[in-house]
Structure 1
């Protein structure tokens, strides 16, 4: 079978490997669509946030089809369309253990969820980043049509936040320097998308000077993380979802107290996958515009290269079509 392997630091290669065998409590899945995440690039460059070792197969944003089940597995059957969670106890699927960027891979049934009939395989491979956005909104207390929500940053997760809060009814404002990504935000339901330099004037006009009821920081840039405290309204909420480790920026921390702010941070999407799948199936959200490039399995290294260029790539997907 074809597999995208990281043989070492900055050494990706499409290799031929045997189809893995499964145990009695395991499931063999045929990959259908696998997204490339910025974390996959960090992993390739040898700087992921948890311990790992090469060689390994990446791929934690995926959809697939069950092709075999072990004799003890009763919850799934061949032909089931599935997606799967990527944090499994102490292991991270696609990071500390090999992931889904192969024609076939092994999973355990407790990781898996059925992909609703309404969702394509492309949508299925977007469930993981959307679940991260959805979890951050839930952690922040949710939103509705009474809220003006500012999303800082229109990367894949910021755009997923945009789609989610717009579907929940909030007036959604995206602040992003890239014109192309602002257009993507508008296509996903944002009421307004502007350059960050226009934030004060735009929010002043929209809210009568009140500020945003909720600010979701999705850029992971320290200066933008600090800026969130200035844009949010009195007794507003700030949700930090963008990741930065070790960098610093000056911040007006006194605003936390003087504005009586509620601040949450989140990472991953524990416990919300069933709810996330119901939300996507019932809301009719179409996330497929996030996928700006698609590659065959034998072009997987090219997908990694595309993901290195966020100016032109929002999300690259690798598509698989192997069968036993």
Structure 2
């Protein structure tokens, strides 16, 4: 079978490997769609938050078809369409253990969720990043149509927040300097996009919110400057959710606003425990995540796909495709 492997620092290669065998509690899966994430690029560079070793098959954003099941697997049959979680105890699928960027791969039944019939393979491979954005909206005290939302940063996670907030009926504004990403935010239902680098950015937020500010602010860029400005863009008693990651950098911030505006602020990471809820939301809401996918490559051309992610900053989510069968 064909598989993308990271074989060393900054070295990716598509090679031929044996189709893996499965244990009694495992499932053999045929990959259908696999997304390339910024975390994969960190892995390729030899960096990750837990120990790993080369070579490793990446791929933690995926949808796949069940090919074969072990004797102890009772709830899934051949042909079932599934997605799977990537943090499994101490292991991270696609990082410390090999992932889905192969024609065939192995997973435990306990990691898997059936993909609703209304969701495509593409939608399925977007569940993992979207679940992070959806979880952010849950942690914002379950925002609803009464809220005016400001999303700072329209990367894949920020755009997932846009889609989730729009799906819940909220009014959504997006701060994003990239015109290409701003267009995707509008396609997902954002009311307006603003340039956070413009001198009058905060005045524009105020003008679009009747002078009040946003009742919910999501910081999804990971930029310390945006983390600071979130306090200023927030309304009185607003909820702030920090999603973007930056550890070690700093920027001046008006921390007194936490008290004077009676703000609620929290940080989150990942999407713990919300995959079933995420899948129900996508199936019932009609939210279409496909605008996030800006390029697709067959698995055999995965090296070109990685190059596109590394060199083309207009890319939002690049997908690998496979139709292999046994």
Q: Is the structural similarity TM-score above 0.5?
A: yes
Mapped contact 1:140–1:263 kept (Cα < 8 A): no
Question: How does the TM-score come out when normalised to structure 1?
Answer: 0.98
Q: Deviations over 1:236-286 (max 9, x none)?
A: 011011111222222121211221111111111111000000100111111
Name 1:256's counterpart in structure 2: 258
8 Å contact 1:9–1:46 — kept in the other structure? Answer: yes
Report how far residue 201 of structure 1 moved: 2.5
Extract unaligned runs of 5+ from structure 2. none
Contact preservation (8 Å) 2:202, 2:232: no
Aligned residues: 324
CA–CA distance in 1 between the matches of 2:295 and 2:281? 26
Structure 1 residue 310: Cα displacement: 5.2
Q: Which moved more, 1:189-198 or 1:114-123?
A: 189-198
Aligned to 2:18: 18
Counterpart in the other structure of 1:104? 104
Q: Distance in 1 between matches of 2:108 and 2:69?
A: 9
Q: Pick from 206, 209, 225 the counterpart of residue 223 of structure 1.
A: 225
Corresponding residue for residue 148 of structure 1: 148
Partner Cα separation in structure 1 for residue 13 and residue 22 of structure 2: 25
Tell me, yes or no, if structure 1 residue 80 matches structure 2 residue 89. Answer: no
- Helix, strand or coil at the partner of 1:43: helix
TM-aligned CA distance change 1:52 to 1:122, over 3 Å: same
TM-score, length basis structure 2: 0.97
Bigger drift between 199-208 and 231-240 goes to 199-208
Deviates more, 1:299-308 or 1:114-123: 299-308
CA-atom RMSD in angstroms: 1.0
Contact 1:238–1:263 under 8 Å retained in 2: yes
Q: Distance in 1 between matches of 2:303 and 2:58?
A: 12
| Misfit runs of 4+, over 6 Å | none
**Which residue of the partner structure matches residue 38 of structure 2?**
38
Aligned to 2:238: 236
Unpaired runs of 5+ residues, structure 1, are: none
Q: Distance in 1 between matches of 2:185 and 2:201?
A: 16
- 1:136–1:265 CA contact under 8 A, matched in 2: no
